Amino acid sequence: LEALRTARPAQLCYRGPNPMNWNKSMLDDVPLHVVADPSMDLMLLEMNSLTTFPHNLTRLTCLTELWLGHNHIRTVDPEPLVAMTCLELLSLSCNEIEELPTTLSCCTELQQLICAANRLTGFKEGTLGGLENLVHLQLPYNQLESLPEDLGSLPSLRTLFANNNRIARLPERCDGLTSLEVLHLHNNCLGALTTGISSLCSLEVLWASYNSIVELPPGLEHCTSLTEIKLSHNALDDLREPDRGILKLPGLTRLHIHRNRLLEVPDRESLHQESGVADIG
C-alpha cells in the first residue's frame, strides 16, 4: 500500500489491451519501457499530460502511426521527427502548439497530418515541402493568418481543412494541388479567393462561408469537378460575369449564397434548368 501511495502517476498508468495503447495513462513523459520495442508501428498517447513532444520516440524507427492529441504539448522538438521516416499518420490535435518544426518535411511518407485546435499562427518556409505523399491535412481551429506558399506543391493532397482560423490570404499558386477534392475555408477573414483556385481541376467541394469575400476569382468555371459550393455570409453583391461563371459548372448540385449583398438572386427553377443545381440557399 505504501508503494501505491508514493508511486508516480506513470507507474500507475493504464497500459491498455496492448503495449501500443497508452491513452489516458496520466503520463507527463514517455518512460523507456514504453518504447522498448523498436519494431512497434503504432503508438497511442492521447489524453495524457505531455507538455513536449516525447524525445524517446526516436527509438521507434518503424512507427507509422503516432497519436498525441488531447495533451498539453506546447513545443515540438525538431529532432525526433528526423528519425520518423516511416511515419504515415501524425495526430497533434487539441494541444497548445504554436509552431511546427521544419524537420516535419523529413517525414516523407506522411499521409495524414492532423493538427486541429492548437495555437498555430503560421508556418516557416519549407515545413510542408517534401511531403509529396500527404493526402489529408487538418488545420482547423488555430490562429493561422495565412497558408504557406509551399502548400501549393503537394500533389497527393486530397482534403484540406483550414476553417475557423484568421486566414486573410491564400497562396497565389495552387497548380500543384492536382488531387485536391475538398477545401474547407469557412470562418476566416478572406476578402477574396486566390485566382490560382481555378487550377484545381479535381476540386469537388468548396466551403468558404463566413468570410468577407466581395467577388469570385475569374476562371472558377474551369473547376469542372465542383459539385458543392458554400459561400453564404460573405459580401458578394453580384453573380453576373465573371462571378456567374460558377453557374455554368456542369456538375454543380449544391450552391449556398444566402446572407450576401446580392441585388439579384438567381431564381431556383431557372437556375436548376440552366445548371442542374438542385439545392440553392
Integer Cα distance of 163 and 4 in angstroms: 46
Integer Cα distance of 56 and 44 in angstroms: 14
Integer Cα distance of 221 and 198 in angstroms: 7
**pLDDT over threshold 70, residue 272:** no
pLDDT in tens, 176-235: 899 999 999 999 999 999 888 989 999 999 999 999 999 888 888 889 999 999 999 999
Look at residue 1 in the predicted model and tell me its pLDDT: 36
Integer Cα distance of 228 and 203 in angstroms: 9
Identify the bridge partners of residue 183 per DSSP, sorted by sequence position.
160, 206
**pLDDT over threshold 50, residue 161:** yes
Answering whether pTM is above 0.85, one says yes
- DSSP, collapsed to helix, strand or coil, labels residue 62 as coil
Phi then psi for residue 52, to 5 deg, are: -135, 160
Look at residue 274 in the predicted model and tell me its pLDDT: 55
Integer Cα distance of 93 and 141 in angstroms: 10
**pLDDT over threshold 70, residue 162:** yes
Beta-sheet strand order (sheet of 89-91): 42-44, 65-67, 89-91, 112-114, 136-138, 159-161, 182-184, 205-207, 228-230, 254-256, 279-280
Q: How far is CA 44 from CA 56, 121, 130, 145, in A?
A: 14, 27, 26, 31
Residues 206, 183 contacting (CB under 8 angstroms): yes
Q: What's the rounded mean pLDDT across residues 134-156? A: 94
- Kindly tell me the burial class for residue 260, based on how many C-beta atoms sit within 10 Å of its own C-beta (0-12, 13-18, 19 or more): buried
pLDDT in tens, 28-73: 999 999 998 999 999 999 999 999 999 999 999 999 999 999 999 9
**pLDDT over threshold 50, residue 15:** no
pLDDT in tens, 73-131: 999 999 999 999 999 999 999 999 999 999 999 999 999 999 999 999 999 999 998 89
- DSSP, collapsed to helix, strand or coil, labels residue 31 as coil
Neighbours of 38 (CB within 10 A): 10
Integer Cα distance of 57 and 179 in angstroms: 32
